[in-house]
Amino acid sequence: MFLNNKPISEACKAEHMPMAQVALSAFLLSLERSHRAKKLVMEKGLPTMREAARCTAKHKVVQESLAKALELMCTDDIHLPLEDSEKWSTILIPWACGKVSSEKTRASATKILSCILEEYGPLTVPISQGWLTFLLSEILGTIKSNSSKGNARSKNDNVKTQISQSNISSAAQVANLLASADVNLAGNQLGTGSDSAGPFPLGDLLMQEPFVGPYKSWNRERKPNFHVVDSVVATLEGIKALTEVCSEDPLYQNLIADSGVLCLLRHYSL
């Protein structure tokens, strides 16, 4: 059993992916057939699943299966607890936005994150803002990478396909603003924060780029004078920046669509 013997987690840690995939196939079958199995895993098996998920960066098939398993558990009348949702965000957001994730993994991660935002509403603003920040940073990285390669599409039609350097520079500044705003909001909302992940549910997410700089300098003893309005302004600036850098190129528009931008916009509109 996944809950007792941790075969999936152990196989992933040992990078024995064929064994992990066999165990995951049985696990998925039990989740599809049994509502009780979903409840048991939700109550006792989430830490083990996260341990396994952290080991799957180079193993797309196993990653897809784990993402599907969590999706099966979150799309019924069972929901991830808020604290577990925050802990999972460090895995789900890169899955939704990451260039190395498969289409199936991105779809599952986007669906799970959408369920989390819908279930907990305003309490998930640090997650939704983190998602937007990560997405903007990933798109900027892709644009800069393509620009440095001097791809044929940009050379053939400079007006339509080349993003202006002013927009890129402005968007990079907004990404930094968003990261700082998310760190401040998360710290103030949850009342904790430190140099390490520790007991801070969002700590693992904030120890990743582009949050790690602002997070390391955040002082829980001397919280900055930060208000929700600052977070709203940063979010609006983020949406504007994302629109500007993607407006001239369908490639980047498709990338942000695949990474869940429509779910984010729906969440903000509500």
Q: What pLDDT was estimated at residue 197? A: 43
The answer to whether the beta carbons of residues 89 and 127 sit under 8 Å apart is yes
Q: What pLDDT was estimated at residue 204? A: 85
Q: What pLDDT was estimated at residue 191? A: 53
Output the pTM of the full model.
0.85
Per-residue pLDDT tens digits of the chain, which is 270 residues long: 444 436 676 777 767 778 888 888 888 888 888 888 888 888 888 888 898 888 888 888 889 999 999 999 886 678 899 999 999 999 999 999 977 789 999 999 999 999 999 999 888 989 999 999 999 999 999 888 887 766 544 444 554 445 577 888 899 999 999 998 888 888 776 554 444 444 578 888 888 888 888 888 876 655 556 667 788 899 999 999 999 998 888 888 999 999 999 889 888 886
Token output for 240 = 């504007």
Q: What pLDDT was estimated at residue 22? A: 84
DSSP alpha helices (H): ranges in 34-162?
35-44, 46-53, 60-74, 82-97, 103-120, 125-149, 152-156, 158-161
Q: What pLDDT was estimated at residue 150? A: 61
